[in-house]
Amino acid sequence: MYRIDFTNTTEQKRLKYKKIRKAVENALRGEKINDAEISIVFMNNDDIKDINNRYLKHNWETDVISFPLEDNPLTGEIYIGLEVAREQAKEYKVSLTNELSRLAIHGILHIIGYDDPTDIERENMAKLEDKYLEGHN
């Protein structure tokens, strides 16, 4: 069973939660996770920068930060910088929903235990994101 909660602390109120949820569920199923409680929070630049600085000691805005909390059931929090996501969607020529879905999947993969400090690991995560995005945006 999946419990995926969304919180939007930004001014943009029309986000397509249903499509983002489907992409996240696709990733969880693909990774053989049957039980998960995930909280996804959309934030503005100031708020995501504050979290990035406070917890990771990076003093800049970012697209996604995730925190694994429990293994069984898989429990975690994903914070997505909506303004950064919007810029990236334009840069990559995809819809905002597509980019938000990709970032949510990326956060899920981190919560599961994937990491991306090297080019090979980044490439592996990008391939998984593509796989789990197919047909959901």
Number of neighbouring beta carbons within 10 Å of residue 2: 16
- Tens of pLDDT, residue by residue over 57-69, are 999 999 999 999 9
Mean pLDDT of 86-103: 97
| Closest alpha carbon to 83 in 6, 12, 4, 23 | 12
pLDDT above 60: residue 136: no
Q: Give the global pTM.
A: 0.95
Note the pLDDT of residue 93. 97
Q: Give the integer Cα–Cα distance in Å for 123 and 25.
A: 21
Long-range CB pairs of 129-134, under 8 A, 24+ apart, other chains included: 129/102, 129/105, 131/30, 132/23, 132/26, 132/27, 132/30, 132/105, 133/23, 133/26, 133/98, 133/101, 133/102, 133/105
- Tens of pLDDT, residue by residue over 97-121, are 999 999 999 999 999 999 999 999 9
Note the pLDDT of residue 134. 81
Residue 6's pLDDT band (cuts 50, 70, 90):
very high
Cis peptide before 68 (omega within 30 of 0): no
Mean pLDDT of 40-53: 97
Which tokens sit at 82? 């909506």
Task: Determine contact, residues 89/124, Cβ cutoff 8 Å.
Answer: no
Domain boundaries, the chain: 2-133
The residue ranking higher by pLDDT, 123 or 13, is 123
Task: Determine contact, residues 25/126, Cβ cutoff 8 Å.
Answer: no
> Average pLDDT of the chain?
95
Note the pLDDT of residue 13. 82
- In the chain, what is the straight-line distance between the N-terminal and C-terminal CA atoms, in Å? 22
Residue 31's pLDDT band (cuts 50, 70, 90):
very high
Mean pLDDT of 14-18: 94
pLDDT above 70: residue 135: no
What is the dotted CATH code of the domain comprising 2-133? Answer: 3.40.390.30
Chain center to CA of 121: 17
